[in-house]
């Protein structure tokens, strides 16, 4: 048996992270998570077939609305459910011991796991976006052909341009980007919860609760400000809101996807702010997950 040359250990190695990321992605693909894309396709294609008595603008709007709505649900499901399973599965199967008994830092392990999930969500998001575009394109061609038969020849070009503008607005891709950042945040949050949770059901339940609180916290803050405009709210109220604000993500900003879906343009800065917030929370939760996992006795 030949001896290997001695290499000096680096406390962080992208190749170790990449190895864990690839194996996690492969594991998730093996868990058949992409079957969820079939449901997505059925939802989009089904909704395109069910549209009757609508103008073509309304039809395209509805298709985009359904696409972003379904994408929002499916990216969330893909981010939370598999992430909740990863740590308990590795612990139960003892693969965690075998991996961490190698010169692998716990941060590298967690980062690799999270990146694996994020790659899977990215692939799913790209595929869902592609399905949405294909359905939109097929529907657009169908509308163009049927309109061409109804309008005089000199108006065909104008009608086609108007149909194309209605079908492919600029709002879909920014909406998808915002949804992806929100899914990344939810995956990191779930990973953090799974570092101290005793079961994946508990992890998912807590993740859902945090998600809901994240969506209503800005409403609660606004309500308190309206009730106590002079800042004279009871101390425990203020403390409670402070704790909620610090520990729970403010997911209200991601609601801008709803505006994008109905065709309302959003300023690029707002989209960048939503994406930036999503990524900042993702990093924050990853750090919290590491702090919790670093002290965990395996």
Partner 1 sequence: MSDPAISIENLTKVFRLSLKRETLTAVRNLSLRVEPGQVYGLLGPNGSGKSTTMKIVLGLVAPTSGATRIFGRDSTDVSSREDVGFLPENPYFYKFLTGRETMHFFGKLCGLGGARLRDRSMELLELVGLRDAAGRRIGGYSKGMLQRIGLAQALIQDPRLLVLDEPTAGVDPAGSRDIRDLILKFKARGITVLLCSHLLGHVQEICDRVGILDRGVLVREGPLDELISIENQTELILENASAALLADIEQKALASGARIVDSRKPQTTLERYFLDVTGGPARRDP
Catalog residues that contact partner 1 under the rule CB under 8 A.
1-4, 7, 9, 11, 13, 15-16, 18-20, 23, 26-27, 30, 93-95, 97-105, 295, 297-298
Q: Which of residues 9 and 145 has its CB atom nearest to partner 1 in the complex?
A: 9
Q: Quick one: tokens of 82? A: 């598999």
Tokens of 292: 């919790």
Residue placing its CB nearer to partner 1 in the complex, 95 or 237 = 95
Nearest distance in Å: CB 18, partner 1: 8
**Which of 11/55 has CB closer to partner 1?**
11
What are 197-200's contacts with CB under 8 Å, separation 24+? 197/88, 199/88, 200/84, 200/85, 200/88
Could you tell me the smallest distance in angstroms from the CB atom of residue 8 to partner 1? Answer: 8
Helix axis angle for 36-50 and 56-92, nearest 10°, is 170
Structure tokens at 100: 């961490």
Tell me whether residue 91 or residue 218 sits nearer to partner 1 (CB atom): 91
**Cβ 34 to partner 1, closest distance in Å?**
15
Beta carbon of residue 118, minimum distance to partner 1 (angstroms, whole number):
20
CB of 27 to partner 1, least distance (A): 7
Pick 105 or 174: Cβ nearer partner 1: 105
Q: Cα(81)–Cα(64) distance, rounded to whole angstroms?
A: 25
CA angle 194, 198, 201 (to 5 degrees): 75
Closer CB to partner 1, 20 or 181, in the complex: 20
Cβ nearer to partner 1, comparing 4 with 170? 4
Distance in angstroms between the alpha carbons of the first and the last residue of the chain: 33
Least CB distance to partner 1 at residue 108 (A): 9
Burial of 287: CB neighbours in 10 Å, binned 0-12, 13-18, 19+:
middle
Asked if 135 and 48 count as a contact pair (C-beta separation under 8 A), the reply is: yes
Q: What DSSP character marks residue 155?
A: G
Q: Which of 196, 185, 139 is nearest to 166 (CA)?
A: 139
Residue 17: CB atoms within 10 Å:
22
Q: How far is the CB of 203 from partner 1 (least distance, A)?
A: 17
């Amino acid at each position: 048996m030949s001896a290997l040359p001695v290499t000096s250990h680096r406390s962080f190695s992208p190749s170790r992270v990449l190895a864990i990321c690839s194996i996690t992605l492969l594991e998730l693909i093996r868990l058949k998570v992409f079957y969820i894309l079939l449901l997505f396709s059925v939802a989009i294609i089904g909704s395109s077939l069910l549209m009757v008595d609508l103008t073509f603008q309304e039809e395209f709007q509805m298709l985009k609305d359904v696409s972003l709505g379904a994408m929002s649900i499916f990216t969330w499901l893909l981010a939370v459910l598999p992430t909740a399973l990863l740590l308990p599965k590795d612990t139960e199967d003892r693969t965690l011991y075998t991996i961490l008994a190698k010169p692998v830092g716990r941060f590298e392990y967690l980062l690799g796991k999270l990146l694996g999930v994020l790659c899977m969500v990215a692939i799913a998001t790209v595929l869902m976006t592609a399905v949405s575009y294909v359905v939109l394109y097929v529907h657009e061609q169908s509308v163009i052909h049927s309109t061409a038969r109804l309008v005089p020849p000199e108006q065909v070009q104008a009608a086609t341009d108007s149909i194309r503008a209605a079908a492919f607005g600029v709002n879909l891709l920014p909406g998808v980007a915002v949804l992806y950042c929100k899914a990344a945040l939810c995956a990191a949050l779930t990973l953090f919860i799974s570092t101290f949770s005793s079961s994946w059901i508990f992890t998912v339940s807590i993740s859902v609760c945090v998600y809901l609180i994240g969506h209503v916290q800005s409403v609660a803050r606004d309500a308190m400000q309206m009730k106590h405009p002079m800042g004279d709210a009871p101390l425990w109220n203020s403390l409670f809101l402070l704790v909620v604000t610090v520990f729970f993500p403010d997911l209200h900003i991601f609601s801008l996807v709803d505006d994008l879906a109905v065709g309302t343009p959003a300023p690029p800065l707002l989209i960048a702010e939503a994406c930036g917030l999503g990524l900042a929370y993702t990093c924050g939760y990853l750090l919290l997950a590491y702090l919790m996992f670093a002290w965990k006795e395996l």
